Chains A and B, each alone.
Chain A
Amino acid sequence: MEGLRFLVVEDSPTMRQLISFSLKRFKGCKIVEAVDGVDALKKLQTEEVDMILTDINMPVMDGLKLVSLVRQNAKTRDLPIIIITTEGAQEDRDRGLALGANAYISKPIQSSHLLKVIGDVIEKTP
């Protein structure tokens, strides 16, 4: 899994830095950051990415709306999406997965868990 390109969508600079820090374990990876859903959609128009990691609670456009729009777009609909959020209740998880996210991780995140989930999602992606 070398040279993967990630889009990290997160309004918290602390979390963006922490997630990026973990992702750097993938050799030669490229990380594109976005602060909310609208910013992410803009970045998707100009950047080629292999996976989206998104928070749910964000200003301007939340993560669930972003997942829904990404799945509706022919260019991006097959992109693997992992939701990383403080919302840990089962119904939140179900809602995220029903909208088309490939995996759901609750904060606080463990780097090793995040990397494992990414690996699993990539393995399952055709």
Chain B
Amino acid sequence: MVEDHSDIFSKSQEFLQMLSKQKDFIQDLLKENERLRYEVAALRPRSGETDGLLRQEIELLKKRLEQLDLEKREVEAAYQRVEEENKDFAQRYVEIEDQNNNLANLYVASYQLHSTLDFQEVVHIVMEIIINLIGAEVFAIMLLDEKTNELGTIAQEGHDASKPLPTVRIGEGILGTVSKTGEPYYINQAGAGYAVDFLHPLAAIPLKIKENVIGVISINKLLVQKDAFTAVDYELFSLLAAHAATAIFSSKLYSQSERRLTTIQGFLDLLTAPPQKG
């Protein structure tokens, strides 16, 4: 029985000790809780400050982003401008190349036309220009006979050589009208059904010295690789209209004066020759 009581006592002692420990633990917890509450209370205003700083920084970053976006748009716009300029320059380069090519053609044509006073040579050069620079396959060069008022062919390429080309009266048909008015005639491109017809050319260019028409160049067919007249062809036509006319006219006059000179020289030789004995 005594043993039973002592056992109960020791157990109650243990229980009391346990309760005492729990009490201490709870008190510790309460203290910790109070300390943490104090810290939380102390931290609250600081957190507000941090939020403010963060918000400020975010605002700054937003502004920077907007600024960068603006700069990006400006750079993009500048890039597009430069690209447009590049395209423009490329286009202009091509145009200048074309002009350079055209000028070279015109320079060479003009240079060659005035390189000789031999009539046949001048006519040959005009033909070369028409073939090589304009790209004509069938054409004729005609001069106006002032006595008969008719255009007669002095050179031709691609027409049937066995049949002489007809003469054309001034004012008659396309060629006659061109020689009368001095205005060039063009149809830019031959239609599908176009057949070479001397009296219905693709182009008829008057050979003019000032306002006087001395002849006509008639172009009836272009080379197979050439579809239509180009811008430089019209420039060449203008050049031919004036320069070929003066070159042909002056070489003709020169050859006539050469012939006359030879004739006069012959007479002079006859007159001044010592009389024959006998």
Interface residues of chain A, those whose CB is within 8 Å of chain B, are: 12-15, 17-18, 21-22, 86, 88-89, 106-108, 110-112
Contacts and interface: CB of A to CB of B under 8 A. Distances in A.
Interface residues of B, number: 25
Given A107-B223, A111-B100, A112-B101, A17 B135 contact: no
Interface string B218-237: 00000111100000000000
Interface of B: 97-98, 100-101, 104-105, 107-109, 111-112, 115, 125, 128-129, 131-135, 137, 223-226
A64 B100 CA distance: 31
Contacts of A22: 104
Given A14-B112, A18-B108, A88 B125 contact: no
A92 to B, nearest CB: 9
Contact of A12 (B128, B137, B223): B128
Given A17-B112, A21-B104, A21-B108, A108 B224 contact: no
A15 to B, nearest CB: 5
Contact of B105 (A13, A18, A89, A106): A18
A88 B128 contact: no
A14 B104 contact: no
Given A22-B104, A86-B131, A14 B109 contact: yes
Given A12-B128, A111-B97, A112-B101, A17 B226 contact: no
Contacts of B111: 17
Given A17-B111, A17-B112, A88-B223, A111 B104 contact: yes
Given A88-B225, A108-B226, A112-B101, A17 B108 contact: yes
A68 to B, nearest CB: 24
A13 B108 CA distance: 9
Given A13-B115, A106-B223, A107-B132, 16 more contacts: A12-B132, A13-B128, A14-B109, A14-B112, A14-B128, A15-B132, A17-B111, A86-B131, A86-B135, A86-B223, A88-B224, A106-B225, A108-B135, A110-B98, A111-B100, A111-B101
B97 A112 contact: yes
Contacts of A18: 104-105, 108, 132-133
Ranked nearest first, the 7 interchain pairs of A and B with the lowest CB-CB distance are: A88-B225, A106-B225, A111-B101, A108-B135, A14-B128, A18-B108, A112-B97
22 contacts: A12-B128, A13-B112, A13-B128, A14-B109, A14-B129, A14-B132, A14-B133, A15-B128, A15-B132, A18-B108, A18-B132, A18-B133, A21-B104, A86-B131, A86-B135, A86-B137, A107-B131, A107-B135, A108-B134, A108-B135, A111-B100, A112-B101
B261 to A, nearest CB: 27
A60 B131 CA distance: 20
A32 B224 CA distance: 30
B33 to A, nearest CB: 88
